[in-house]
Amino acid sequence: MRLLAPTAVLLLAAAARGGVYDSAADPPPLPSRWAGFLPDHRALRAAAVERPADALPSPFRADFLAAAGKLQKLARPLTADETADLGAALLRLGRPTEAVAVLRPAAHRFPDHFRTAANLGTSWQLAGDLDPAAAALADSVRLAPEKHRRTEEYHLKLVRLRRAEGRAALRPQEPDDLFGVDYGHLFAGKLPADDVAVVQALALALPADGRLLWQLGELANARGDVRTAAAILDGCVTEFGMSAPDLRARRAAYRAAADALARQPGHDGHRGTIVFRSARPLARRFDTSVLPPVRADRPNPLPWGLLADTELGGKEPAFPRHLVALDGKPVVLTGFVQPPGDAAQFGSFVLLEYPVGCWFCETPDPARVVAVELPPGVRVGRRAGLVKVTGTLALNRTDPEDYPVRVTAARVGEPE
């Protein structure tokens, strides 16, 4: 095991990635920085989950529902591009069987249409039938334009590997052998230069696949970033409920190495060797119409997508109108605790949309950081998983040295 030596239609189109393609404009190139990739990956996963009627809807889900509904209402046969787009939207909504029903006849009508073949392969895979998935993905490899061929080749390899594993693939004990290297001894010199880009593309196509996230954690470590590796493996356990003994052992080892690294001065050795090509893989603009009216008598949902629309850099922050309406009102949001230093118990901390491998190397956008203050005398301990924070929102318009957004008199609890 290699460790570093201690020393937001509702959104702009959520452009698809390898395995799930729509006709949106080309998305930013991969790999994306972990601080941008991980929240977008989690948002895609949430889009596939149908929520109770009174719950805050996933912005991505609302976007995909709108896209699917518009295409399904057309009173004429769909074109090849429209059919592929409908299949992609259904996949993102967690409805692969419906996607197969749409895409399977389209593959016969449009046998040379790349996106139909690729989306059909992913649909069969998520529907649990790997034989037709492999057949459709073989067609997608044959039809893929150059910029997508390599990802499609690895997607086909992934499906073939899992087909060979049979039922054992349902309880994975190690990451997929995508690169022909013993994952327990991954070193950057044995890996292809685009390893992280390929697996990020597959993970965005299959966001509920925790095994791909595990693969990304191992690649982060192999590329010299043990702190991100520890954070990603934390997510495998806390968000995906993965329990493979080796995963948990490696998570503990990476966490110990990351903690030792944090105690040392300097951070040049924390960054790793990945050359990132974009800040995040999906462009989003939050639509406040999905939010309930602001109320003063109960906590109002505070989504990260709304916070992200804050514009910094001027004389004072330009907060979105809905966020201004929440100023001084009770709010509730979920996120991950970033403690102040090494303290075991603390009365204030910052809340992040997703845990960051190294605060100094991958500092989140200030608009995506919320300062949290507990009532006087109240303290909490370190938390590895997602938490729910309820308190009063306070916007900072005057002090450029302080956080733009703060939640005061806060309570920390378990997410619902």
Question: Which DSSP string do the residues of 206-217 spell out, in sequence order?
Answer: STT-HHHHHHHH
Q: How far apart are CA 135 and CA 131, in angstroms?
A: 6
Q: Which residues of 328-348 are buried (b: 16+ CB within 10 A; e: fewer)?
A: ebbbbbbbbbbbeeeeeebbb
Whether residue 239 lies inside any domain: the answer is: yes
- Of the candidates 23, 17, 136, the one whose C-alpha atom is nearest the C-alpha of residue 80 is 23
Question: Looking at residue 372, what is its pLDDT?
Answer: 96
Question: Looking at residue 366, what is its pLDDT?
Answer: 79
Report residue 262 as tokens: 């944090």
Q: How far apart are CA 121 and CA 20, in angstroms?
A: 9
- If asked whether residues 302 and 257 sit together in one domain, one would say no
Weakly modelled stretches of the chain, pLDDT under 50 = 1-15
Residue with tokens 């020393």: 7
CATH number at residue 126: 1.25.40
Report residue 102 as tokens: 């749409």
Q: What domain range is 407 assigned to?
A: 297-413
Domain boundary among 255, 270, 285: 270
Strand-pairing partners, residue 412, are: 389
- If asked whether residues 312 and 207 sit together in one domain, one would say no
Question: Looking at residue 4, what is its pLDDT?
Answer: 39
Number of structural domains the chain divides into: 2
Q: How far apart are CA 263 and CA 345, in angstroms?
A: 17
- If asked whether residues 257 and 304 sit together in one domain, one would say no
- If asked whether residues 193 and 303 sit together in one domain, one would say no
- If asked whether residues 62 and 97 sit together in one domain, one would say yes
Whether residue 288 lies inside any domain: the answer is: no
- If asked whether residues 176 and 319 sit together in one domain, one would say no
Whether residue 282 lies inside any domain: the answer is: no
Question: CB 286: neighbour CB atoms within 10 A?
Answer: 21
Question: Looking at residue 416, what is its pLDDT?
Answer: 74
Question: CB 391: neighbour CB atoms within 10 A?
Answer: 23
Report residue 31 as tokens: 């790999």
Q: How far apart are CA 324 and CA 310, in angstroms?
A: 10
- If asked whether residues 238 and 127 sit together in one domain, one would say yes
Number of H helices, E strands in the chain: 13, 8
CATH number at residue 326: 2.40.50.870
- If asked whether residues 213 and 313 sit together in one domain, one would say no
- If asked whether residues 197 and 327 sit together in one domain, one would say no
Question: CB 394: neighbour CB atoms within 10 A?
Answer: 16
Instruction: List helix spans (H) across 110-208.
Output: 114-126, 130-143, 146-165, 195-205
Whether residue 254 lies inside any domain: the answer is: yes
Rounded to 10 degrees, the C-alpha dihedral 317/319/325/331 comes to -90
CA distance readout (Å), 89 to 23, 105, 294? 11, 17, 31
- Of the candidates 23, 26, 38, 31, the one whose C-alpha atom is nearest the C-alpha of residue 235 is 38
Question: Looking at residue 22, what is its pLDDT?
Answer: 85
- If asked whether residues 82 and 124 sit together in one domain, one would say yes
Q: How far apart are CA 227 and CA 244, in angstroms?
A: 20
Question: Looking at residue 394, what is its pLDDT?
Answer: 95
Q: How far apart are CA 341 and CA 339, in angstroms?
A: 6
- What pLDDT, in 10s, does the model give residues 32-75? 988 888 888 988 998 898 877 656 556 688 888 988 999 999 99
Q: Which amino acid type is present at position 383?
A: R
Whether residue 308 lies inside any domain: the answer is: yes
Domain boundary among 270, 287, 314: 270
Residue 365, H or E segment: none
- If asked whether residues 381 and 242 sit together in one domain, one would say no
Question: Looking at residue 295, what is its pLDDT?
Answer: 94
Angle at 256 between CA 251 and CA 259, to 5 degrees: 120
